[in-house]
Amino acid sequence: MRDLSAIVVTLGDDPRVHQCLEALAAAWPSAHLQLVLVENGAQGPAPPLPIEPAVRLRRAANPGFAQAVNEGLAVSTGDLILTLNPDARVEADAVATAVRTLDGESGAGAVAFRLVRPGATLLDSAGIRLGLIRRARDRGMGQPASGQFLERADVDAACMACALFDPAALHDARDGAGEILDSRYFAYKEDVDLGWRLRRAGYRIVYEPAAVAEHQRGWREGERKAIPRRLRVLSLRNRWFTILKNESPLSLFLRMALYVPTECGLLAWLAITEPGVLRAYPRILAGFWETMRRRKLRADLG
C-alpha cells in the first residue's frame, strides 16, 4: 500500500469539503493517507474535519490556488500526490484505479481522472487537450457521459480538480524559478502549464476512464459573462504565459501564421464585447522577462 498525500485547497469555509473528504476517506486507508488542507480566506475558528489528523494551512489571506498547492506540496510526505477540489468526490475505487495506472503505464508522471457532473449524465473532463493555437479544452466537457471517452489515452494535461501525480515527476518538471505551479497564475491554466512541463520533462499524462470522480465546477460552458472580469483577465494572461514558457522557438515561429490572425480577431472581439479584459495584454508584457526566465525546467538547470 502506497502512502498518499491529498492536497485540498479551499476558499473560505467551504461546506462541500466535508463530503469531499468523506469520499476520500472511503477511497484510501487512513493509515496511508496524509490530508493536507490549505484554507485560503478562512475566518474564525477551524471547523472539525472527517479526516484527522490533518496538516492544515489556514489563513485569512487568499494568495491563490497555485501558491496554495505549492505550499501543500512543501509539507506533503506521501510517495503519491493527489490534488482534489472541495467540490469533487472520488468514487470508492477511483484512487486505487488511478494508482494502478500510474504504476503500470511506462513513463507515466500523472493520471487524469474521468470527471463527471453531479448525476453522472454529463462529462466534466476526460483530460485536457491543447489545440493548434494552444487553447486548452477539457475533453467532453458538458457532453453526455454515456459511451464517450471510455478508452485509456494520453492527454496534454490533467484537470487538477482530481488528479494523481508522481512526486518525482513534479520535481523534474519544476520551472526555472523552482516552482511546481507558477505562483503568479493565482488561478486558471496552472494545470495546463504543469502538464506541458511534465511532457517536456519526458513524462506521460494518462487519462484513466475507470478512475471516476464527481465534479461540480464553479463556472461552466456558456457562463463566461458570469465569471468575474478579474478572473477572465487572469485566464487570458496565463494562457500567454503558458505559451511563452513552453512553446519551442521553432514551433512558436511556425504557429505565428495561426497566432497572429487569431489574436487580432480576439482583440477586436474583446474591444467590442469585453473591453475590460484587454488589460490582460499589458500584464502579459509586464511579465514577459520573468516568463522567459521560467522557460528552463529545473531538471535542466541542475
CA distance readout (Å), 188 to 90, 134, 170, 193, 240: 22, 14, 19, 10, 12
Which DSSP symbol is given to 275? G
What pLDDT, on the 0 to 100 scale, is given for residue 265? 85
Comparing C-alpha atoms, which of 90, 87, 103, 71 is closest to residue 33? 90
Q: Going by C-beta distance under 8 Å and a sequence separation of 6 or more, which residues neighbour residue 128? A: 112, 136, 137, 138, 139, 155, 156, 157, 158, 159, 191, 192, 195
Beta strands of 54-122 (E only): which ranges?
A: 54-58, 80-84, 88-90, 108-116
Model confidence at 299: pLDDT above 80: no
Q: How confident is the model at residue 167 (pLDDT cuts 50, 70, 90)?
A: very high
DSSP string, 228-270: -HHHHHHHHHHHHHHHHHHS-HHHHHHTHHHHHHHHHHHHHHH
Superfamily of domain 4-215: Spore Coat Polysaccharide Biosynthesis Protein SpsA; Chain A (3.90.550.10)
CA distance readout (Å), 139 to 101, 115, 155, 157, 228: 19, 10, 9, 11, 24
Q: Going by C-beta distance under 8 Å and a sequence separation of 6 or more, which residues neighbour residue 273? A: none
Which DSSP symbol is given to 87? T
What pLDDT, on the 0 to 100 scale, is given for residue 193? 97
Would you state the cell numbers that stand for residue 185, as one nine-digit string? Answer: 497564475
What is the per-residue pLDDT across 177-189, written as a single tens digit (0 to 9) for each?
999 999 999 988 9
Q: What are phi and psi of 56, to 5 degrees?
A: -120, 125
CA distance readout (Å), 23 to 9, 28, 73, 91: 16, 9, 21, 7
What is the per-residue pLDDT across 83-140, written as a single tens digit (0 to 9) for each?
999 999 999 999 999 999 999 999 999 999 999 999 999 999 999 999 878 888 999 9
What pLDDT, on the 0 to 100 scale, is given for residue 223? 57
Which is more confident, 52 or 104?
A: 104
Average pLDDT, the chain: 92
Which DSSP symbol is given to 30? G
**How much of the chain exceeds pLDDT 70, in percent?**
96
Q: How confident is the model at residue 285 (pLDDT cuts 50, 70, 90)?
A: very high
Q: What are phi and psi of 60, to 5 degrees?
A: -75, -25
* Spatial separation of the C-alpha atoms in residues 189 and 295, rounded to whole Å: 16
Mean pLDDT across the stretch 229-239?
Answer: 89
Comparing C-alpha atoms, which of 53, 69, 54, 59 is closest to residue 13? 59
Which is more confident, 265 or 61?
A: 61
pTM above 0.85, yes or no: yes
Mean pLDDT across the stretch 268-273?
Answer: 85
Tell me where in the chain the CATH 3.90.550.10 domain(s) lie. Answer: 4-215
* Spatial separation of the C-alpha atoms in residues 192 and 65, rounded to whole Å: 14
What pLDDT, on the 0 to 100 scale, is given for residue 282? 94
